Structure 1
Amino acid sequence: MPSHSPRRKPLSTLLAVLLLAILPAASWLSAADFAHEESDLPVDPNVRYGKLDNGVRYALLKNTEPRERTALRLLVETGSLQENENQRGLAHFLEHMAFNGTENYAPDTLIEFFQRMGMSFGADTNAFTSFDRTVYMIDLPDSTAAHLTEGLQVFRDYAGGMLFLPEEIDKERGIILSEKRTRDSVEWRSFVAELDFLYGDTRLAHRLPIGTEEVLSTANRDVFVDYYNTWYRPERMTVVAVGDFDIDQVESEITAAFSDLSARGPARNDPPTDHVQSIEGLRVLHHYESEAGNVAVGIQTAVPFAEEPDTARNRLKDLPRDIALGMLNRRLAELAKQEGAPFSGGYAGAGSFYKISDTGSIELRALTGTWKEALKVAENELRRALQFGFQEPELREVIAGMRNGLEQAVRRAPTRRSPQLAMGVLSAVADETVFTTPQTDYDLVTPALDQITIDLCNAAFRELWSVPHRYVTVVGNTGADQPAEPELEIAELFSTAQAVVLDPPAQIEEVAFAYTDFGPAGEIFSRDHVADLDITLVEFANRVKLNIKQTDFSAESISMSVRIGTGQLSEPTADQPGLSVYASNTFTLGGLGAHSSDELRRILAGRNVGVGFGIGTDAFQLSGATTPDDLLLQLQLAAAYLVDPGFRPEADRQMRKGIEQYYTQLAHVPQGPLQTEVPRLLANGDMRFGLPPQDVLDQRTLDEARAWLTPELQHGAIEIALVGDLDVEAAIEAVAATFGALPTRGAKPLLYERRQVSFPEPFEKDYTVPTEIPKGVVSIYWPTTDGKDVHVARRLNVLANILGDRMRKKIREELGGSYSPSAGSNTSDTFDDYGTINAYIVVDPPDAARLAAATRELAAELAAHGTNDDELQRALQPILTSLREGERTNGYWLGAVLVSAQEFPQRMDWARSRYSDNQAITVAEINKLAAAYLGNDRAFQVIVLPE
């Protein structure tokens, strides 16, 4: 139940500009119930809008993905902005209280009620609070009349039936304060500092949804009730339902559930809308965070928000500006890779922030020692674009990407998923915009793209930055030696940068893709069709294996996986520890032999291709997503990474800048040791586990990566998986022309000795980290076994869910000790007899030992006395719901079945038994595993606290 406090909303992408960012004017608002009633934009005709006599609105949309499921949303148009001074944080606190006792659901029963329905707390039922809205979410496990009635009854209780029992308020205080602690971070504190700098004279800067500790600790029931009765009013509520249902039935159910809802107190006017004040000249913010991994240097503008209705004209008017910003972002990406670049990445954008301001911004991320140079680059590159403008190849690249995005949205519209559609409809209602179809967006924007010119983009970009002021922000770890007046130093640095005489940007040379011919197409050696799973298995004469499944889950979408060689099993850890971390973070950054990564981006603009690289425990993996039209190009690109990887020096430069920032951050957060040393300790010192020390990683080189990867890429076994909206025969032909044309691959070695990993004797280990953030973590591990026996692995997963639910009840609800305690099972498919159940808690440091002991006691109790049928079913039913839904996703079929179906044919049996085997899990089986693995004498305990 997070409290959302979004940052600025930079709207430099097409979809953000056209679909999400238009905020109507208060002066334009009328008696219309929905924005489309007074707009020239055609609303999606499939959405049924309505309003009850008491003012409750609703929006309903029939949608069949996922099958037989329904996404329900309740929008209450009130948030932290409506709070009085003595209510700061109560909008969010009240959202929590919806789960702690209502007219029809007694305290401590609602979550278990959801679990028995087949819904998990967090994934299927949740809520969030922002400055201007509170949203409750329920994703029903099916669309039966009974479950629709129940879901709407829950919403009706949220809307008008919360009890606010004093004892429940007091119990929840600790959870809210724990959430506040959990969300506290360097990033959060930096955001708050920037918010105060830019908007400190507005109400919004003093109404963060998480609230103040004083109010959260002391507010009594009357203050909650006052907020609830004042702002939870029928006319502020909208019910959104999207799913596989009878729309007339749902409309009738909403009418029955909400028609008797009435206001419980007098209305109040919303607080007046603040606007940022116009300024001239330079304003500077320096915010020092010693624990930050980098320094963010920014240049911004902020002018009073211009209120406009959502119309066709207003959706198009900023298109040239945002294309210009897209071109600038591509320049920044290329500059960051150059030798000596003082920054690792950057972003430019424009948009609005909660009807307070319209903004423009450029921000670069730099290391502690290079932030001054980065500030100069930010000023110079912004001014270079203003002075010399952009080039035609840059324009073509950005427009090609935008046009492709619009086309793909149209093609994929029939298989959009209900939860995302529900939030889209809800956001349109809350933001008073028109919920249009992808086809409407395409028809509106593509003609405009045809008319865009460099001159239009340059003019719009210059207009954005034509205001007579600049906000300059330097936020992060700027070094231990701080000047007495850092803002004065920053102002001087900025003035010096402004005096630099600039040269125009270099002219861009356009080239063609160099990897289209891999030789004669490969011949098929064998082909088999697995009828019950509708999977086609192919092996080519060169021993490349291919697994294909055609699906209709996601229109125009194909997912790809290419497994190569042996992965970490062959990593040379004896003399090159950390090489897999280094190689996985440099490989694609190095581009190809004929093209840098930036050239590839430009060449492939407007095409649906891209390749990611990862190093798994037993294979290297190329992954990507594409469309039927671009499948051949996607495979050409992937094959090119095998035959001619670039290993360019800019990859090493980018990786080192990123890694230095990441390790700096890890050194100051309690999660750091859990990612670095602890995994290695649990594996008895095996260097393949956890992140290596930074000084070890710093020794790795591109030459080492090339020496390890090249033989594997050229000769290692290959297994390809393709799943999605594809033609099987066309896919086989495309693979034959690329991977099938490669030289013959070798057999995959077993490497039995490298699969052996062992646990040490159980230990308790305490760490401290230097940080001002007052939170710690407790992580407890119980060794289990590997995942090769899926029957056991499934039951370990259920056992972990039961432990996690007991932690929720004890650690969160009873003790109020942690916002989101969790437990999970991780069983290895590679390493023999290696797996863990892990319990994880973010804690108040003085509570760490107590909560660690309580968690171990919960596990020991489960080991000694087992579970019961109700607890089992509450853990199991959400899993069964997830299994039903997952079966209609490309992600499941790719990752769980096809990815290595020929190397591990048992994966196909796992697919056949996944539902029935989970459904058959018994209390006795869970109790046996609990007794075997969760004993207190087997636990590894790690506590990490601030120094």
Structure 2
Amino acid sequence: MQKITPLVMIAFLGASSVYFSARSKGNPPPVKAEAPAKVEAAPSSEAKPEAPAATAANEPIKATPWPQEASDIAADPKTVFGTLPNGMRYLIYPNSEPPKRVSLRMHISAGSLMEADDQQGLAHFLEHMVFNGSEHYKADELVPRMQRLGVGFGAHVNAFTSFDQTVYMLDLPELSDDVLDLGFTVMRDFGDGALLGAEEIDKERGVILSEKVSRDSVQSRIQEKQFEQFLPGSLIAKRFPIGKEEIISKAPRERFVDFYKSYYVPSRMPFIVVGDVDPKDLEARITKAFSSMKNPEKPGANPDLGPVKSPEGLETAVFTDNEVESTDLSLMTVRPYTKKPDTIENRIADMPLYLANSMIDRRFERLSKRENSPIVAGSASKDAVFNHVELGGISVTADDSRWQEALPMLEQEFRRALLHGFTASEFAEAKANLLNAYEQQVKSKASRKSESLASGIAQTINDGSVISTPETDLEIAKKGLETITPEACHAEFKKFWGDAGTHLILTTKQAPDTAKADLAAIYQESLSKPVEAPAASQSAAFAYTTFGTPGKVTRPKQIAALD
């Protein structure tokens, strides 16, 4: 069964990016590399932002290490990792599906969290502006040039801005020199060649404001309420990527240039290539395109995201919105996140809680199928948010807004797991499902598409995951599952939740004024009722062991029209 995530979790974890697609408009020692070839360049009335004061000549930048350098997990041996003297890291992964194509990703380790108070929304605005005039293209030249070479806009050229990252994506339809030259020239221009013309900025303000209106969704509104509730005093609650209307409307060019020069720097700019390519050829292209980029003397720093306050006891909250499509109840805990290296030991250490959450998912699935059940779905999870917050959640979706009936079921199943743990049969099922998921990844390895691989690799940049093979992942999973027991899953579940304060959240269309007090009262009443250990179930033998006498083919007949 596909896991159904309630809106309260979707909004918190998922509604964090603002997307843009290019559209037509009526729009050893350091290596000294050549500048990228100019492609149909034309004189521009806008000057390129003044280059930042560079670091000392020929002084290599200390680059961020790749995750495997601090891990006992081997990186996929097909992957070529490299670092230029200016600190720019790159990764090349040969992949022949689809053949004769390549996907490029430029990951900027900066998003709306890096904005100053008077720059709110400019990280996303910049994502638009790099398409609107650069060192090699006038504002109205880039998209037509791409179209002439078969690089479509929309599906092939787009980008997104999140709280902590901006990612530019090009999926090239062929490997000709013209197309590759275009792709690398465009990516270099994104990195430090945007003109950021004042006239073009003014033209784009209305586009951004329209996008802000269009993104006023129920998910974004609920997310804002959540951040205010869960992260009071944190910068995260004040830096939504779409930004502030007054800043989008009036920010001067200088504030765009400041963000661009401070954060679009080689040391924050891993470059990813996945496709049907020769890594040596691509390394040469990367070196030629990006080695001449400079780092400023004082690059932008990561901000202090502020405190993460865990709730004390039970704290209730009610989020209402007329566009909410379901009524959800969630128990959530929030705590500071401690980043750990991606190692075999740490991967295995995470497995018991994952299995425990999977077993709770399965319990809610069974409960939702009972006659007249007050819930239609339920789930349990643990997630890290921006490497700053650790979030745990146990949620149910109420049937037909019957949240008063659903809440005791949520509380009692949560308490049942805390007090009594899990049965051997539940564990066997969860273990088999997890193992099967890893096995399916191995089986589907050869059919992985370059576009998806490139985007997936880009998403590992901030979380520090080793890019290991599906076979390695399976091997680690098998090693962990050999020793993990139902008792270990119970212990990890208690460790995560036992002493934690919790938020109890109701998300619904409308709620009475007494809803917060009602939540607390119903929850406390449910606590007074005992919960029994889950009943152990026995695996039944497969009912069908014989299928009768096999039939015989008496007369074959070939129909030519069906060949």
TM-score when scaled to structure 2?
A: 0.85
Q: In 2, distance between residues paired with 1:263 and 1:448?
A: 43
Q: 1:86 corresponds to which residue?
A: 118
2:382 is aligned to 350
% identity of equivalent residues = 37
Q: Distance in 1 between matches of 2:358 and 2:549?
A: 38
In structure 2, do the counterparts of structure 1 residues 259 and 496 end up closer, same or farther at CA, with 3 Å as the change threshold?
same
User: Which residue of 2 is the match for residue 145 of structure 1?
Assistant: 177
1:280, CA displacement in angstroms?
A: 2.3
Q: Residue in 1 aligned with 2:410?
A: 378
Figure out how many residues of one structure are paired with residues of the other and give that number.
506
Is 2:213 the partner of 1:181?
yes
Relative to structure 1, the CA distance from residue 291 to residue 239 in structure 2 (aligned partners, 3 Å threshold; closer, same or farther) is closer
Is 1:277 aligned to residue 277 of structure 2?
A: no
- Is contact 2:63–2:88 with CA below 8 Å preserved after alignment? no
1:129 and 2:161 aligned? yes
Provide the residue aligned with 1:464 in structure 2.
496
The answer as to 2:468 corresponding to 1:436 is yes
The aligned amino acid for 1:395 is F
Task: Give yes or no for contact 1:371–1:478 (8 Å, CA) kept in 2.
Answer: no
Q: Equivalences for 1:906-921 in 2 at 5 Å?
A: none
Match of 1:494 among 523, 527, 530: 523
TM-superposed deviation, 1:527: 4.7
| 2:412–2:531 CA contact under 8 A, matched in 1 | yes
Counterpart for residue 96 of structure 1? 128
Match of 1:405 in 2: 437
SS across alignment from 2:462: helix
Of the three residues 348, 356, 366, the one matched with 1:316 is 348
Contact 2:261–2:296, Cα closer than 8 Å, also in 1: yes
Do the aligned partners of 1:56 and 1:234 also contact (CA within 8 Å) in 2? yes
Question: Where in structure 2 are the equivalents of 1:467-546 lying within 5 Å?
Answer: 467-479=499-511, 482-483=512-513, 485-512=514-541, 517=547, 520=550, 523=553, 526-527=557-558, 537=562
Deviation at 1:438, TM superposition (A): 0.9
Contact 1:275 1:356 in 2 (8 A): no
Alignment of 1:795-814 (within 5 A): none
Tell me how far 1:72 sits from its aligned partner: 0.4
CA deviations 1:158-210 (Å, max 9, x no partner) are 00111112222122222212222222222221122112211132111111111
Structure 2 counterpart of 1:179, one-letter code: E
The structure-2 alpha-carbon separation of the partners of 1:150 and 1:515, relative to structure 1 and needing over 3 Å to count, comes to farther
- Residue type matched to 1:487 in 2? K
Q: Which amino acid aligns with 1:490?
A: L
The one-letter code of the counterpart of 2:199 is E
Q: Distance in 1 between matches of 2:201 and 2:176?
A: 34
2:447 is matched with 415
Task: Report 1:441-840 matches (<5 A).
Answer: 441-479=473-511, 482-483=512-513, 485-512=514-541, 517=547, 520=550, 523=553, 526-527=557-558, 537=562
Question: Alpha-carbon deviation of 1:268?
Answer: 3.0
Q: Which amino acid aligns with 1:216?
A: I
SS state of the match for residue 110, structure 2?
A: coil
Give the structure with higher Rg (CA): 1
1:255 offset after TM fit, Å?
0.8
1:106 matched to 2:138? The reply is yes
Structure 1 residues 528, 447: closer, same or farther in 2, change over 3 A?
farther
For 2:523 and 2:549, locate their aligned partners in 1 and report how far apart those are by CA, in whole Å: 55
8 Å CA contact retained: 2:373, 2:399: no
Q: Which one-letter code corresponds to 2:523 in the other structure?
A: F
Matched, 1:203 2:235: yes
* Higher RCO (CA-CA < 8 Å; seq separation 6+): 2
Measure, in 2, the Cα distance between the counterparts of 1:98 and 1:133.
16
Counterpart secondary structure, 1:338: coil
Please report how far the alpha carbon of residue 522 of structure 1 lies from its aligned counterpart in structure 2 after TM superposition. 8.1
* Distance in 1 separating the partners of 2:227 and 2:548: 54
The 2-side partners of 1:414 and 1:258 are apart by: 31
Equivalent pair of 2:98/2:449 in contact (CA under 8 Å): yes
Structure 1 contact 173–217 (Cα < 8 Å) conserved: yes
Per the alignment, do residues 521 and 215 of structure 1 end up closer, same or farther by CA in structure 2, a change over 3 Å counting? farther
Aligned equivalents of 1:304, 1:518: Cα separation in 2? 62
2:203 alignment partner in structure 1? 171
Q: Distance in 1 between matches of 2:551 and 2:536?
A: 38
CA contact (8 A) 1:9 1:350 kept: no
Shift of 1:512: 4.9
**Deviation at residue 520 of structure 1 after TM alignment:** 4.9
Q: 1:287 to 1:32 in 2, by over 3 A?
A: closer
The answer to whether the 8 Å contact 1:345/1:365 transfers is yes
Native 8 Å contact 2:424 2:536 kept in 1? no
CA RMSD of aligned residues (A): 2.3
2: distance between equivalents of 1:306 and 1:186?
A: 31
**Cα distance in 2 for residues equivalent to 1:355 and 1:528:** 63
Kept after mapping to 1: 8 A contact 2:89/2:267: yes
Alignment partners' CA distance in 1, 2:238 and 2:560: 63
Q: 2:35 corresponds to which residue?
A: none
Q: CA deviation at 1:399?
A: 0.9
Q: Secondary structure at the match of 2:90?
A: strand
Q: 1:33 to 1:529 in 2, by over 3 A?
A: farther
